[in-house]
Amino acid sequence: MGKKTEKLLSILQLQPVVPVLVVDNAATVVPLARALVEGGLKAIEITLRTEAALDAIKAVADEVEGAEVGAGTILNARQYEAAVKAGSQFIVSPGTTQELLDAAARSDVPMLPGAATPSEIMALREEGYAVMKFFPAEQAGGAAYLKSLASPFGGISFCPTGGITAASAGTYLALPNVVCVGGSWVAPKNLVEAGDWAAITALAADASKLAG
């Protein structure tokens, strides 16, 4: 196992659920991240789907003690490099391109690349990857599909993300090839907008105790 794989696993194994955040206002992200960390969810993915995302990553990296902040929805090398510069400790992509593989090879910050088919998994394995994001999990076949990949792809671990809820997370976490799941239910938009950080800490605490 390479050093970057070990580094990535050390982050993903911190907890059963990695919060996947879409941040519209960077001002809310520090109390939000602190609430998640207090509830036991230290690894946090902030997706690059909004203009506030890079500022939000920098704020969490600079101001939230105990947080391991990563950048999600990384689609190209420019975004990869900008996310690393902002303080990202891991990079998450919904898929994989040669451009992204090259950017990851140049960086000390590990990438969790997306894969949803046997061919994509095989291509990534040839590139030396043993940990992948399975996306979009529910829409691509769910836990039953992922379970069927365990035998032909021994030694490959997944972080399924996409459509997973508090109710379905345990089914994924019970699979031998799942290291953690990604989920947005721990930081619902209405609670973030209301600034109800105690409620988010409670959701995070429940998620941190999930097991398969």
- Residues recognised as catalytic: 45, 133
In angstroms, the Cα distances linking 47 to 50, 74, 79 are 8, 8, 11
29, 46 in Cβ contact below 8 A?
Answer: yes
Among 41, 43, 44, smallest CA distance to 20 is for: 44
What are the φ/ψ torsions at residue 45 (nearest 5 degrees)?
-105, 125
The tokens of 128 are what?
A: 């030396």
74, 95 in Cβ contact below 8 A?
Answer: no
Cα(29)–Cα(192) distance, integer angstroms: 9
Cα(137)–Cα(143) distance, integer angstroms: 8
